């Protein structure tokens, strides 16, 4: 695989240093490197596989270890994304974003994508994909339908109160959680928010431009309505069997229209 020069140089420098630690069983790459399309703006997503008995000690030393492998500028742990094993780091200069996830050897088979093994001390990592085939999680359309209309009502309340910054954030949440994944699935891609959507699903990305808005109440209301209409269209296009939340849809969309029209009565 051809890597951008900065990424290739980083791996060339760091892998021999990681291999010197006898507690490390192997190293794999995930993310854009694993799927074969890294570019100059890509992160480096590393999985450092640690012998089970050494894992607790390595977890304590994570930042120091990374600093011994490369020029660490700054780093922090990934609890905010639900992954405390992760260190999110800047290395360099030149600056490069590197995510390093430390996993027990016995947990390597548990994954959300198939990584590329870069170094494997005993061959166990290379055998793991064949022994434990990866199945990408499907988009749970019922989970979305059960929540979508409650979210629409919530967004309408923010719009009605004039909290436009909150409304703009809400629109981003709907794109990341609902519309982006639905757009990707429409073209057979994994549902990963709005990541690379302009190249993966260009027609759907163009449609999503209607869900953008400026700092303007009328424009924000139009964008929330556009989210509703895109969701309805893409939901109905699939023909999937869903328990439709018709009552919630009717009431939430009605409330949204009332908020946009300025006819919501004060409580």
Asked if residue 136 is part of any domain, the answer here is no
Confidence class of residue 125 from pLDDT cuts 50, 70 and 90? confident
Domain final residue, candidates 96, 131, 166: 131
For residues 125 and 225, the answer to whether their CB atoms sit within 8 Å is: no
146 & 256 share domain: yes
Q: Where are the beta strands (DSSP E) in 13-115?
A: 24-30, 44-50, 72-78, 83-91, 96-104
Domain final residue, candidates 131, 154, 174: 131
122 & 22 share domain: yes
> Helix, strand, or coil here: 237?
helix
Confidence class of residue 129 from pLDDT cuts 50, 70 and 90? low
114 & 11 share domain: yes
127 & 145 share domain: no
- Average the pLDDT over 166-188 and give the result: 96
At residue 135, the pLDDT reads: 66
Domain final residue, candidates 112, 131, 150: 131
- Helices 141-161 + 164-174 axis angle, to 10: 170
For residues 42 and 7, the answer to whether their CB atoms sit within 8 Å is: yes
66 & 165 share domain: no
At residue 133, the pLDDT reads: 61
Q: Cβ–Cβ contacts within 10 Å for residue 156, how many? A: 24
- Mind listing the pLDDT tens digit for each residue in 249-267? 999 999 999 999 998 755 5
Asked if residue 266 is part of any domain, the answer here is no
For residues 34 and 22, the answer to whether their CB atoms sit within 8 Å is: no
Q: What percent of the chain has pLDDT over 70?
A: 95
Asked if residue 203 is part of any domain, the answer here is yes
Say yes or no to pLDDT of 119 above 60. yes
Q: Cβ–Cβ contacts within 10 Å for residue 89, how many? A: 24
How far apart CA 186 and CA 205 sit, in angstroms, is: 11
Closest CA to 214 of 227, 204, 225, 223: 223
77 & 184 share domain: no
Q: How many folded domains does the chain comprise?
A: 2
Closest CA to 175 of 142, 136, 201: 201
Confidence class of residue 26 from pLDDT cuts 50, 70 and 90? very high
Closest CA to 25 of 117, 109, 116, 120: 120
21 & 88 share domain: yes
CATH code at position 222: 1.20.120
Confidence class of residue 228 from pLDDT cuts 50, 70 and 90? very high
Asked if residue 56 is part of any domain, the answer here is yes
124 & 146 share domain: no
Note down the domain range covering 150.
Answer: 141-261
| pTM assigned to the model | 0.82
Query: Where is average pLDDT lowest: 111-115, 121-125, 165-169?
Result: 111-115
At residue 37, the pLDDT reads: 83
Asked if residue 267 is part of any domain, the answer here is no
- Average the pLDDT over 185-197 and give the result: 91
At residue 35, the pLDDT reads: 82
How far apart CA 11 and CA 85 sit, in angstroms, is: 20
Asked if residue 63 is part of any domain, the answer here is yes
Size (the chain), residues: 267
HSE of 66 in the Cβ direction (CA atoms, 13 Å)? 26
- Mind listing the pLDDT tens digit for each residue in 12-22? 999 999 999 99
The mean predicted confidence, pLDDT, of the chain is: 93
Distance (Å) of CA 264 to CA 94, 225, 226, 256, 257: 54, 17, 20, 9, 9
At residue 101, the pLDDT reads: 97
- For 259, the enclosing helix (H) or strand (E) is helix 246-261
At residue 110, the pLDDT reads: 82
- Average the pLDDT over 91-98 and give the result: 97
For residues 104 and 52, the answer to whether their CB atoms sit within 8 Å is: yes
The distance from CA 200 to its chain's CA centroid, rounded to whole angstroms, is 15
- Average the pLDDT over 154-166 and give the result: 97
Asked if residue 35 is part of any domain, the answer here is yes
């Amino acid at each position: 695989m051809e890597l951008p020069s900065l990424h290739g140089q980083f791996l060339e420098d760091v892998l021999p240093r990681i291999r010197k630690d006898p507690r490390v069983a192997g190293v794999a790459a995930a993310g854009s490197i694993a799927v074969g399309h890294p570019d100059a703006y890509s992160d480096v997503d590393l999985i450092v596989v640690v012998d089970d008995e050494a894992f607790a000690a390595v977890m304590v030393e994570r930042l120091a270890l990374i600093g011994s492998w490369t020029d660490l500028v700054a780093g922090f742990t990934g609890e905010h994304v639900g992954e405390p094993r992760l260190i999110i780091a800047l290395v360099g200069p030149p600056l490069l974003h590197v995510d390093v996830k430390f996993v027990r050897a016995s947990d390597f088979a548990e994954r959300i994508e198939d990584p590329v093994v870069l170094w494997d001390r005993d061959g166990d990592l290379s055998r793991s994909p064949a022994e434990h085939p990866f199945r990408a999680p499907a988009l749970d359309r019922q989970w979305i339908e059960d929540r979508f209309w409650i979210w629409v009502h919530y967004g309408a309340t923010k719009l009605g109160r004039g909290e436009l910054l909150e409304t703009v954030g809400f629109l981003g949440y709907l794109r990341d959680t609902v519309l982006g994944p639905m757009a990707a699935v429409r073209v057979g891609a994994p549902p990963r928010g709005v990541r690379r959507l302009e190249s993966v699903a260009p027609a759907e990305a163009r449609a999503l431009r209607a869900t953008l808005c400026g700092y303007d109440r009328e424009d924000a209301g139009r964008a929330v309505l556009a989210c509703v209409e895109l969701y309805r269209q893409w939901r109905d296009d699939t023909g999937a069997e869903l328990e439709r939340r018709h009552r919630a849809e009717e009431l939430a969309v009605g409330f949204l229209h009332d908020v946009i029209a300025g006819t919501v009565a004060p409580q």
